[in-house]
Structure 1
């Protein structure tokens, strides 16, 4: 029996040079994607921004803002071709680890109420629903609620 090598995944900080690759992913996984400007502004604001690589290709990314001892997860995304393989969890655990090194006591995020798979991931990690933000997200027909979730870390 021969050993089959496992795919190699790596994390590294996001840079402005990554935005072309990110903008190839973002519109394919969100109905209302972030703009290039949203990502550039986050980088300029020195938010914690990371990419997940598979064989040097960006396949995921996450951005987090620190406010005192609170980590706010702003975006967590996995390329459509790599979804449903546990990579969202891998990236989320990486961001929680980063928050811990920055002495965060809690992590917060908003998620579309319709994003059942993301909600299940967050709950599986230990996030709890804290509130509903009515009409938080743009939608094709009006607005969509967000679920505010939190995790004590």
Structure 2
């Protein structure tokens, strides 16, 4: 939750919301650690995807990378694995929302094949818009 708060405040999820997400049978979460031994490892990032059985759509729920691990490819790796999971769940499209004031994340998603679908005005606290993005045919994506 510390990384969640650091990465997303004031839009961070509550502990209860995060617990429900992680425990859901329809979501898959990845956690990345930095360090040679797990006992002393530092949380480097996490990411989750909602890919309900029988659905043709998947949604990237969240992705966070610790500040000292950013710009090193971890976000791309986490996203690629989420896309691969969505493809294995037979999703035909993967969706996500990203803050309009986060061009770095938007560029990452575009480089993975996502295209802009639309804008949700004032989606985030502080009146920040959300850019809705979509990846068609994740199984055919170079990212997967």
Band the TM-score falls in, shorter-chain normalisation: 0.7 to 0.9
Q: Does 1:43 align with 2:30?
A: no
Distance 1:38 1:30, change over 3 A: same
Root mean square deviation, CA, Å:
1.3
Q: Does 1:60 align with 2:45?
A: yes
- Give the TM-score taking structure 2 as reference length: 0.83
Among 132, 135, 141, which residue is 1:151 paired with? Answer: 135
Among 60, 64, 69, which residue is 1:77 paired with? Answer: 64
Gaps of 5+ in 1: 1-22
Residue correspondences, number: 128
- Secondary structure of 1:76's counterpart equals strand
- Secondary structure of 2:125's counterpart equals strand
Q: Decide which structure has the larger Cα Rg and report it.
A: 1
- Secondary structure of 1:103's counterpart equals coil
| Off by >3 Å, runs of 4+ in structure 1 | none
Among 94, 106, 131, which residue is 2:118 paired with? Answer: 131
Bigger proportion of residues as strand: 1
